[in-house]
Copies of this chain bind each other. A is one copy, B any other.
Amino acid sequence: MNVIARNICSAALRVARQEPSVKSFCKTLPNFQPARFKSNAVTFPAGLIFRQLFDYQSYTYTYLLGDDETTEAVLIDPVIELVKRDARVIEDLGLKLIFALNTHVHADHVTGTGELKKLYPMCRSVIAEVSKAKADVHVVEGDAITFGRFTLKVVSTPGHTEGCQTYILHQNGKSVIAFTGDALLIRGCGRTDFQQGDSAQLYDSVHDKILSLPPQTFLYPAHDYAGQTVTTVEEELRCNPRLTKSKEEFIEIMKNLNLPYPKAIDRALPANMVCGVFDTPTS
């Protein structure tokens, strides 16, 4: 297990949230007021194949989305070591991969996009133009990635890195699922102390572009360190220990996280600038 990654998260959460002990936590339960959270499980579009996949090493979520009619599919944030697993799922579900997207230039793992292009010659890699990373398709705010009957809208959400993007799936003109990368994590957010990180910018990005979506929009992040798999706009507006704070308080929290230097960054950054095929075996 990536103990460092877990420690980073635990420490960060403790700082931001000042979690009560189990004992004091128990005491809060009898007074608990139901938040009347409304489920929106039914809003997943008909005909969408959706799979969430996880990397136990870097705690990264990879997402597979496909159209069950045309079989066209996209992968968001694949991990190089798990390309074979991802390809097996794609094959099992009868899909053909046409896009491999990164939400940003990752610092904690090497992207699988380059290796996937070797397996699927029709697959094109996608990343933000502003990232300056190599890819087949460079996108900016407002662009759309289409697979079959579905479209992911590109929304620029800088702050963790300057090239961070959120990919939003719409149905009937309404957002139903947003893939938030490291901009917004479940009850957290990406760090802002390297790679052009900017806390004020991250705060604005998340509030203006993600937490302003309809409350029942599902949010799927690039990572989780507590075994959680999904959240919603409504939940994060109410429960995110950092982003429910004022901008000034948020900046102060982010300034004092005191996180260690990311273990994989020196290997990951140069590789991810070239689709993950830098200094890796060619198969």
Contact = CB atoms under 8 A, between A and B. Distances in A.
Interface string A103-129: 000000000000000111000000000
A26 B227 contact: no
Given A34-B94, A37-B68, A48-B39, A54 B227 contact: yes
A87 interface: yes
Contacts of A35: 92-94
A261 interface: no
Closest 3 CB pairs of A and B: A35-B94, A1-B1, A54-B227
A52 interface: yes
Give the size range of A's interface with the partner: 35 or more
A91 B120 CA distance: 44
A53 B119 contact: no
A229 B66 CA distance: 16
A85 interface: yes
Interface in A1-56: 1-2, 6, 22-23, 25-26, 28-29, 32-39, 41-42, 44-56
A148 B281 CA distance: 54
A257 interface: no
> How many copies of this chain are found per oligomer?
2
A94 B37 contact: yes
A39 B49 contact: yes
Nearest to A55: B227
A56 B53 contact: no
B22 A85 contact: no
A71 interface: yes
A55 B54 CA distance: 12
Interface in A73-99: 82, 84-85, 87-89, 91-96
Contact of A46 (B29, B39, B51, B93): B39
Interface string A237-275: 011000000000000000000000000000000000000
Contacts of A84: 22, 25
A172 interface: no
Interface in A192-239: 226-230, 235, 238-239
A104 to B, nearest CB: 21
A46 to B, nearest CB: 5
Given A46-B42, A87-B29, A34 B227 contact: no
22 contacts: A25-B84, A28-B91, A29-B91, A33-B94, A34-B95, A35-B93, A37-B49, A37-B68, A37-B93, A37-B95, A39-B50, A39-B66, A41-B46, A41-B49, A42-B46, A51-B229, A51-B230, A53-B229, A54-B229, A55-B227, A56-B56, A92-B235
A218 to B, nearest CB: 11
B56 A229 contact: no
